[in-house]
Structure 1
Amino acid sequence: MKLKSFFIFAFVAFLGSACKESFLDINTNPNVLPTASPSFVFTNALNTTATNLNGNSATGNQPNEVGSYWSGQWSQGNGYIINTTIFAYNFTNGDFTYWDAYYDNLEDYQYVINNADANNQKYLKGPAKVMKAMLYQQLVDMYGNLPYTEALKGGEVLAPKFDDQKVVYESLITLLDEAIVDLKANPFASAFTGSDIVFKGSTTKWAQFANSIKMRILIRQSKVAGKETYIKTEINKIVTEGSGFITGEDVGVGGPSFFLATAGKLSGVYDRWGYDANGAKRALNNFPRPTKFLIDGLKAAGDTLRMKRIAYANGGENGTVPGTSVQKEISANYSGTPFGVSSGYLPANTTSLGPSLIVKGEFNRPSILMTATEIQFLLAEAKQRFTDVTLPGTAKSYFEEGIVQSFRILGANVAGAAAFKGSKIENYDWDASTNKLTAIAIQKWIALTNFSGLEAWTEYRRTNLPVLPQSVQVADAKRPVRFYYPNTESGSNGANVTAQGTIDAFSTRLFWDVD
């Protein structure tokens, strides 16, 4: 009896502990995220951001690639059948479906924000908010109205409402303000700086990046009626806050300590457009080609130092002497490809993506999120449009530094930038340029080449500069001004997609695209 009582007691105790520990609960809610350290999630989220924007991923053509085409910087080599989706604009809501990948990535950053405190990793909240703001701006710039206030809530809201794009933009400024407060209050724990594959735990640089994204958001709205006072107030708040902007260096993910010479672990740009882990040239190396418009414009301005970094001479890179061209690097050996042309421009007789982007063996370059040169041109435009903002420099000084930083990131001798001062070349020499805003827009367009195609296309839609030739594949003057909402969102959140009205990718402009 004593033995029997013991077994009964043990069994009851087992059941009690099992119930307490949910031992017999075999049901798992698929809408609840599994537990993971925010530091691990954050590192992976940064790498995913870089892949979604620049690299080799399941969605194929990435936003920076499509932006490089539609901004007139790249065309397609004639070693392939012409891609009519891109070059004849024959696309539907089944194409350019970056929406799902972006929202998946945003879920990761939201997980970090929600769980950083409980895991004693508060220093990750600020960086995660900065990245959240950057991705949301890019989503708005591609699609317009979208889920924001009800998004990223997992199973709580399965059909989130769409927020007005203008309101989302303003909310992102607030989010970045919150991020800077978090960054200043929570320095990285030294043991976890390795989880930050952008700034290695520098909260100062994260705050500067936050301010740089703010400036991008504000200047994007600079032509919208009624926004001038708001923009000037927010710029002055950035100056007063005091962290400043990213200067003299670029914002990139990964780098030499992260990417490896192993399949699947190369920098995404290198893996897609350059070489595999064994040094074999990728077939897609022959696909994107710098446009005739770009190359001819650089030649006409005598801007050959940057041209030779943007592109390899005809015939491509010399594999035995990486970073150099097969042919002599003289202007006559650089031939751009007309946008959308389908024959007559083979790899052997056209320029290819140059050493600023691809060099054999350099598989571990950071994947660029934002360049220092873009920031300088944002500051130049801010000072030129709103002369009374408290930015310390002049529009001219920011413009000229923007060209210097463009030379630097391209790997050209920065002394070459000084040659344009007093050169009398329109849109290069500040004093000689008739329209200063035009000069800023065109120099920014050049500077974004090879690094930030999505920004280049977005800025082209905002400024209509430079004046680009139409695709050879298109008879009329139509150009895309946005993407369609993807069919995946229509299937899962149809009522809210329908509520946005009829979307025409050629006429339904975003709120900042006023002309």
Structure 2
Amino acid sequence: MFRNIIRTAGVLLLMGSCSKSYLDVNNNNPNQVTTVSPHLLLAGTLNTTASIVTTDFPFLGCYQGYWTIAQGFSDITDYANYNFSTNFGQNIWTDVYGNLGNLAQIEAAAKADTTLVLYGAMAKIIKALNFQILVDVYNNIPYFDASSPLNIYPKYDNADTVYQHLVLTIDTAIAMINGATPGAVQPTGSDDIMFSGNMTSWKQLGNTLKLRMLLHQAGLTAKAAYIQARLADIATEGDGFLAGNAWVNPGYSQNTNQQNPFFSSFGFNSTGGAASNYTSFKANIYTIAFFNNTNDVRIGYDYAPLTGYTGNPPYLYVGAPFGTIGLPSPSSASSIGAYMPATSSTQAGPRVGLLQSDAQSCPLLTATESLFLQAEAAERGWISSDPQTLYQQAITASYAYLLVNNPDSAAGAYYAQPIQNVGWSASTNKLEAIIVQKWAALNGIDLEEVWSDYRRTGFPSDLPPSNSPNAVSKTPPVRLLYPQIEYQTNAANVNAEGSINQFTSKIFWIP
């Protein structure tokens, strides 16, 4: 399959993933990248995975109540009407499968040279994350056949089966790490641009990914015994869950094609000009109201104050409903992801929040999410930790990620308030509080995971749909359609999946 969805490896892969051109259906050489060093491939696949997580799902920023689209931008019709085609979001499929092709090259190199065992293990864990994204977006996908670069017509595999195999893949990776001999090549910061060769952190990431996949299935009573068995495996393994941020930095800078991909996509280009997404995506009134009603200072870290406002208080944050015709104009609502001092109109000046600098690290999975996953597991009785402590630690980690001043005291003051879904004691539904605060924390950071939470729990329960009078549904889609490229290059197998509807063809773990 990877001969039809393949990406050019090398330095461009490492530093230029924000300029994506991954699809080459005319490439008939499945062995094109075998000469590329697995060290360079590892750095490239990590960078690409972070780019996929942070930049491939802008439509979900609208569906999850964070953003809306300024009038005059073409995306508003597809986004707001929910009436998208097989071309909608196709880059997700091609980006992920292209990345998986390079991960397969690392696995093959490790199989041929046993001293590269740790590289093979790392590739398996990142492969599990990439395939998990595909299942969560498309349900059944090519999996077992897709591992062969010579199979250009892979059959589709059952999504539940894929999820189970991904857990086993992570188990294999952890066993490979634990079984590595002193002669194994040790990764360094130049190729392991996430953990600099800290293999304990890699095992913790693997366990956290397993917990994420198990929680996705929490609404399926038939999976209860399976979930408990896999939780026991995690406990027996003993390394626990991710304690810090799993983020990458291959040497991001302000140079062209070397910026942090989220910053260059949703912030500013290398010359300081605003990226198109910075101009087109604006604050959604839903999240602005949530932050205001809960006295949350993160409003000034996830959004920029309205340009040109000279009132009291000095900063004004304005949102607009998603899908409303004529709203907002590009200048009438706050931009996303940035804090700018009142005297600044460009990227000059101190940066905090989502858009800190060209050189900021790019996350695959944050400590914030890890703690919220653990809080949910504890609240469900899956693990023995205290859910309140984990919940409050997760909120604090969110404040720290955004560089809120004195994050411990600021977060402590926030969650001490007797407000529903903020203060632990004040929240009547603890699970809802956890998911709502996870939603607040992952604004602009991992939109696909937030979408998964909403689809499986229904929280936030008052999330507004599109206001567009032309919307084809009163509720947002639960999945994407299979991409057009599959109907062009793998028609028999994709058509065997039957008629797919973005509203009713559910992901297997949706209750």
Q: 1:461 to 1:331 in 2, by over 3 A?
A: farther
Q: Normalization by structure 2: what TM-score?
A: 0.85
Provide the residue aligned with 1:504 in structure 2.
Answer: 501
Provide the residue aligned with 1:51 in structure 2.
Answer: 51
Residue 490 (1) aligns with residue 459 (2)? no
Q: Give, as a single letter, the amino acid of the residue that structure 2 aligns with 1:47.
A: N
2:395 equivalent among 383, 400, 403: 403
Provide the residue aligned with 1:38 in structure 2.
Answer: 38
Equivalent position SS for 2:147: coil
8 Å contact from structure 1 (residues 68, 454) kept in 2:
no
CA distance in 2 between partners of 1:507 and 1:29 (Å): 37
List per-residue Cα deviations over 1:148-170 (Å, max 9, x = no partner).
Answer: 11112011x22111111011111
- Give the aligned CA root-mean-square deviation in angstroms: 2.1
Q: Give, as a single letter, the amino acid of the residue that structure 2 aligns with 1:278.
A: T
Give 1:448 deviation, angstroms. 0.9
List per-residue Cα deviations over 1:69-100 (Å, max 9, x = no partner).
Answer: 22121111235356211111121111111212
Structure 1 unaligned blocks of 5 or more: 1-27, 56-61, 317-325
CA distance in 2 between partners of 1:240 and 1:328 (Å): 58
Q: Give, as a single letter, the amino acid of the residue that structure 1 aligns with 2:423.
A: D
CA distance in 1 between partners of 2:429 and 2:232 (Å): 25
Give 1:392 deviation, angstroms. 4.2
Equivalent position SS for 2:153: coil
Q: 1:288 to 1:177 in 2, by over 3 A?
A: same
List per-residue Cα deviations over 1:436-495 (Å, max 9, x = no partner).
Answer: 111111111101101011111121111111121121113751321101111111222211
Q: 1:289 to 1:225 in 2, by over 3 A?
A: same
CA distance in 2 between partners of 1:344 and 1:228 (Å): 46
Give 1:332 deviation, angstroms. 6.8
Provide the residue aligned with 1:340 in structure 2.
Answer: 323
Q: Give, as a single letter, the amino acid of the residue that structure 2 aligns with 1:357.
A: L
Q: Give, as a single letter, the amino acid of the residue that structure 2 aligns with 1:407.
A: Y
2:246 equivalent among 246, 251, 254: 251
Give 1:306 deviation, angstroms. 1.3
The percentage of aligned residue pairs carrying the same residue is 30
8 Å contact from structure 1 (residues 79, 286) kept in 2:
no
Q: 1:475 to 1:129 in 2, by over 3 A?
A: closer
Residue 357 (1) aligns with residue 354 (2)? yes
Q: Normalization by structure 1: what TM-score?
A: 0.85
Equivalent position SS for 1:207: helix
Provide the residue aligned with 2:274 in structure 1.
Answer: 281
CA distance in 2 between partners of 1:191 and 1:42 (Å): 10
Q: 1:283 to 1:495 in 2, by over 3 A?
A: closer
CA distance in 2 between partners of 1:476 and 1:273 (Å): 28
1:314 equivalent among 285, 289, 306: 306
Equivalent position SS for 1:352: coil
CA distance in 2 between partners of 1:308 and 1:364 (Å): 21
2:198 equivalent among 197, 202, 206: 202
Give 1:344 deviation, angstroms. 3.9
Provide the residue aligned with 2:11 in structure 1.
Answer: none
Provide the residue aligned with 2:348 in structure 1.
Answer: none
CA distance in 2 between partners of 1:342 and 1:194 (Å): 49
Aligned length: 461
Q: 1:329 to 1:158 in 2, by over 3 A?
A: farther
Give 1:331 deviation, angstroms. 8.5
Residue 166 (1) aligns with residue 160 (2)? yes
Q: Give, as a single letter, the amino acid of the residue that structure 2 aligns with 1:378.
A: L
Residue 212 (1) aligns with residue 208 (2)? yes
Equivalent position SS for 1:75: strand
Q: 1:329 to 1:436 in 2, by over 3 A?
A: farther
Residue 180 (1) aligns with residue 177 (2)? no
Equivalent position SS for 1:93: coil
Equivalent position SS for 2:298: helix
Give 1:312 deviation, angstroms. 1.4
Equivalent position SS for 2:215: helix
8 Å contact from structure 1 (residues 67, 455) kept in 2:
no
1:125 equivalent among 113, 120, 123: 120
List per-residue Cα deviations over 1:291-343 (Å, max 9, x = no partner).
Answer: 1000101111111x111111111128xxxxxxxxx767949711112112342
Q: Give, as a single letter, the amino acid of the residue that structure 2 aligns with 1:397.
A: T
Q: Give, as a single letter, the amino acid of the residue that structure 1 aligns with 2:30.
A: N
